[in-house]
Structure 1
Amino acid sequence: MSHTFALRVYYEDTDLAGIVYYANYLKFIERARGEWVRALGMDQVALRAETGQVFAVRRLVADYLRPAKFDDELSVRTTPRAVTVARIVLHQQVMRGDTVLFDAEVTLVCLTEAGHAARIPADLRQRLAAALPSP
């Protein structure tokens, strides 16, 4: 199940040339991941309060393919690729229309608040697995 998050490029997202500053793509995909999680019915604040668990980016591989510019209307597509007992792998793309501008594979891990590896709660893991595309 892919999720799409819409956004507009604001002046504050750009450099002097009006092109999106490279680090802002990471902010865009972070916002999209947060909305993807909400769409799955997950509450990260409740998860932390109830279990002491949080998710953190463990690995990110990114390709900057084309520049986004001031006032562009963009979308971020988030597609889960894999779910294990302690990690989630996502494919995320920032797009302008049908053109892919930024492409990333993001690995998230489940951690305790102290930063130790933790198992994703079974009910949450089931919801995440149900969101995986069919083979």
Structure 2
Amino acid sequence: MKNVYSIKVVFGDTDAAGIVFYPNYYRWMDQATHELVNKAYTSVSQLQKEKDIILPLVETFCQFKSPLFFEDQVEVHSQIVEMKNKVIKVEHVFKKGDNIVASGYEIRAWASQAEGAPKAVSIPQDARAALGFNE
């Protein structure tokens, strides 16, 4: 499953030098993952409300290749590249036009909070199929 999430850099995304402040890339990866899951399966808020499932981050990484500035248009190309029993790995590539400006990934648990504290649980077959991992 792949998804493209479009962003226009706003002034508040930049630092004093006018360059996008690095934590915003992680925020955008989070938003892009939510969009991807929503497009393929259901919204993250519905997962939480209806199934007591959340998708907490276990690991994240981003490599920056060139800066983004105020009013730049950028696309985050995201796809789930790996799915294990209880976790997914989502790869993100940030593109400004044809140029890759950053790339990274997130590893997220499929976690139930039905009993209070989040606990990783097996990803159900319907979610696996919707997200492109029929096994």
Report the TM-score when normalising by structure 1.
Answer: 0.89
The corresponding residue for 1:26 is: 26
Question: How far off its partner does 1:12 sit?
Answer: 0.2
Specify which of 114, 119, 122 is matched with residue 116 of structure 1: 119
Q: Does 1:16 align with 2:16?
A: yes
The corresponding residue for 1:83 is: 83
Matched residues in 1 for 2:16 and 2:45: separation?
37
Matched residues in 2 for 1:60 and 1:39: separation?
22
Q: Retained in 2: the 8 A contact 1:77–1:94?
A: yes
Q: Unmatched 5+ residue regions in structure 2?
A: none
CA RMSD of aligned residues (A): 1.5
Q: Retained in 2: the 8 A contact 1:81–1:90?
A: yes
**Residue deviations 1:20-50 (CA, integer Å, cap 9, x gap):** 0000111111111111111113122222223
The corresponding residue for 1:125 is: 128
Matched residues in 2 for 1:44 and 1:15: separation?
30
The corresponding residue for 1:58 is: 58
Equivalent residue of 2:82, what SS?
A: strand
Q: Unmatched 5+ residue regions in structure 1?
A: none
Matched residues in 2 for 1:43 and 1:121: separation?
16
Q: Retained in 2: the 8 A contact 1:83–1:128?
A: no
Report the TM-score when normalising by structure 2.
Answer: 0.89
Question: How far off its partner does 1:123 sit?
Answer: 0.8
**Residue deviations 1:72-120 (CA, integer Å, cap 9, x gap):** 0110000111112211111101111111111102111111221211112
Identity of matched residues, %: 24
Give 1:41-56 correspondences, 5 Å limit.
Answer: 41-56=41-56
